[in-house]
Amino acid sequence: MKKLAQKNSFNLVILFLFPICFITAQNGTWTQKANFGSFARARCISFSIGTKGYIGTGENGSTDRIDFWEYDSQNDTWTQKANVGNTGRRSGVGFSIGNKGYAGLGSSSQQPKSDFWEYDPQLNTWTQKAFYPGTGKMSAVGFSIDGFGYIGTGNTNGVIGNETKQFWQYNPINNTWVQKADFGGDQRDRAVGFSVNSKGYIGTGYHWLGNSFVSYGDLWEYNPQNNSWVQKSSFPNMERNNAVCFTTTNKAYIGLGYLNKIDFWQYSPSIDSWQQVTSFAGEGRIFPSAFSIDNKGYVGMGYSVGTQGTIYYNDIWEFVEPSLGLMINDYQNAFEVYPNPTSDFINVIVNNDVNQIIIYDILGKEKLKTNNKIINISDFESGIYYVKLMNSMGESIKKIIKN
């Protein structure tokens, strides 16, 4: 350790001869894409498979829709596909596992549904699968983790006040449902659900208490390995319901919702932190839809409520996250890194606290996570890396070169 200290002392002089490059990232951009191929609507199912996105069913007033549409992100076009199931529905749930899509539940003519279907995009066919256990559910959330589907929360009979904490796993191999540990928070519907890095998450939402409703801002993480829930950092901008979410490789984005919100927030599960990103570029709305393709989010549909009444939407917007997915709240002289270039160790010099330090490669892949200020990167391949510091002041990034 003494030898290392002597070496670092020498390189501290070099630091002033070769200033560290300071990186600043934008907070993401929104671009309007081709409108959804059919009627404006809300409460749809949505998911993505490969480079294609899918939106279908939903409602635009009193009519429950049955149609289903495919979005080609490369050509920015919509194509109608086979209808979902045998009746129209609203407030259903959808997700994908591998190269198949799954959708069902919701309600039709104000009656809850428990049917469940598998979509094959190669054949453009829906095949009915095992019914969801129970009498049906609407306004639930769904996601997939490592080849299994999960559906949780929601309303069990379409009557407000009958929200649930139930959580079920679907096995597509043997077409069976298995009940898992109840959701860790209060019962609710109209929440958001997503999965990142083999963990599931459910948060926000709504619960009717008889003469008023409670809107939530909490977030809970589900670990399928031990079938348990752990509460995480709450959604930062008050409570929210009827919002929407999508995911990229290791981040989740949540926004919109009651009442006609336009803000969007990035959640980083690896450090359990939130950062605000660029607000949605369209109109604020509730009951929107979203999916992800190639680390880009696609958000639209839904409706707004205001002095002009209820306005339904069919617009679609593409969100491109900040470079490398690294969020920054810049502040002057956040920290320094030396030596740079280096072949073995780097030293992080910071005047404030350190919550976490993450090193990414040039493609944005996480290489190392620590809270130590002396970091060994001797095993890294030669090239460019980014050191991201997070503390109570915010986040900042430095570029380093590994010889």
Class of domain 2-25+327-402: mainly beta
pLDDT of the residue at 16: 29
pLDDT of the residue at 363: 63
With a CB cutoff of 8 Å and minimum separation 6, the contacts of 368 are 358, 359, 375, 377
pLDDT of the residue at 14: 29
Question: Which overall architecture, per CATH, does domain 29-321 show?
Answer: 6 Propeller (2.120)
pLDDT of the residue at 211: 83
pLDDT of the residue at 323: 64
Q: Where are the domains of the chain?
A: 2-25+327-402, 29-321
DSSP β-ladder status, 366-370 and 303-306: unpaired
pLDDT of the residue at 328: 45
The tens-digit pLDDT sequence of the chain (403 residues) is 333 333 333 333 323 233 323 333 358 999 999 999 999 999 999 999 999 999 999 999 989 999 999 999 999 999 999 999 999 999 999 999 999 999 999 999 888 999 999 999 999 999 999 999 987 899 999 999 999 999 999 998 767 788 999 999 999 999 999 999 999 999 999 999 999 999 999 999 999 888 888 999 999 999 999 999 999 999 998 899 999 999 998 899 999 999 999 999 999 998 888 988 999 999 999 999 999 999 999 999 999 999 889 999 999 999 998 765 444 444 445 688 989 999 999 999 887 778 888 898 866 678 999 989 999 999 999 988 888 887 766 677 788 999 9
Q: pLDDT tens for residues 90-131?
A: 999 999 999 999 999 999 988 899 999 999 999 999 999 999
